[in-house]
Structure 1
Amino acid sequence: MRQVLIALTLAATLGGCGGRKSPPAAEAGRREAEQAPASSWRAIATPADRERLRAWRDSWVDALARARASGAAQAIAAQGALLLPDTRLPDPLPPPGDYRCRVFKLGAKGAGGLNYVAYQYFTCRIARDGALLRLEKITGSQRPVGRIFPDPAGRPVFLGTLMLGDETRPIAYGRDQSRDLAGFVDRVGERQWRLVLPLPAFESLVDVIELVPAAS
Structure 2
Amino acid sequence: MKWKLPVAIALVPGLAGCSVYREATSSSLATNVRWQSVATASDRDRMRDWRKAWDEALPLARKVDPQAIAADPLLFDPDRALPDPAIPQGAYRCRTFKLGAVGTAVRDFTAYPAFDCRIADEGEVRSLHKLNGSQRPTGLIFPHNANRQVFLGTLVLGDETAPLRYGLDANRDMIGYVERIDAKRWRVVFPRPRFESIVDVMELVPAG
Bin of the TM-score, shorter chain as denominator length: 0.7 to 0.9
Q: TM-score, normalised by structure 1?
A: 0.82
1:147 matched to which residue of 2? 140
- Corresponding residue for 1:59? 53
- Which of 186, 200, 203 is equivalent to 2:196? 203
* Mapped contact 2:90–2:119 kept (Cα < 8 A): yes
Q: For residue 154 of structure 1, report the CA deviation from its aligned partner.
A: 4.0
Query: Is residue 2:37 matched to residue 1:39?
Result: no
Mapping of 1:1-216 within 5 angstroms? 9-10=3-4, 14-16=5-7, 39-70=33-64, 72-152=65-145, 154-215=147-208
Q: Per-residue deviation at 1:153?
A: 5.9
Deviation at 1:131, TM superposition (A): 1.0
C-alpha displacement at 1:113, in angstroms?
Answer: 2.7
- AA in 1 matched with 2:99: L
Instruction: Count residues in correspondence.
Output: 187
Q: TM-score, normalised on structure 2?
A: 0.85
1:3-61 deviation digits (Å, cap 9, x = unpaired): xx85xx42xxx1018xxxxxxxxxxxxxxxxxx97621011000000010011111012
Task: Note if contact 1:145-1:162 (Cα within 8 Å) is conserved in structure 2.
Answer: yes
3-state DSSP of counterpart to 1:205: strand
Residue segments in structure 2 that go unaligned for 5+ positions in a row: 9-29
CA distance in 2, matches of 1:95, 1:61: 30
Contact 1:102/1:119 (8 A) holds in 2: yes
* CA distance, structure 1, for counterparts of residue 203 and residue 125 of structure 2: 20
The ranges of structure 1 where at least 4 consecutive aligned residues each deviate by more than 2 angstroms after the TM superposition are none
Gaps of 5+ in 1: 18-35
> Residues 115, 15 of structure 1: CA spacing in aligned structure 2 closer, same or farther, 3 A cutoff?
same
Q: CA RMSD in A?
A: 1.6
Cα distance in structure 2, aligned partners of 1:177 and 1:120: 27
How far the C-alpha of 1:112 sits from its partner, in A, is 5.0
Query: 1:148 and 1:178 mapped to 2: Cα distance?
Result: 19
Task: After superposition, give the CA deviation of every residue in 1:164-196 in whole Å (9 maximum; x if it has no partner).
Answer: 001111100000000000010000011100000
For the residue of structure 2 that corresponds to 1:82, the secondary structure is coil
Change over 3 Å in CA distance of 1:154–1:67 after alignment to 2: closer
Whole-angstrom distance in 2 between the partners of 1:178 and 1:86: 27
Larger Rg: 1
Q: Comparing both structures, which one devotes a greater share of its residues to helix? A: 1
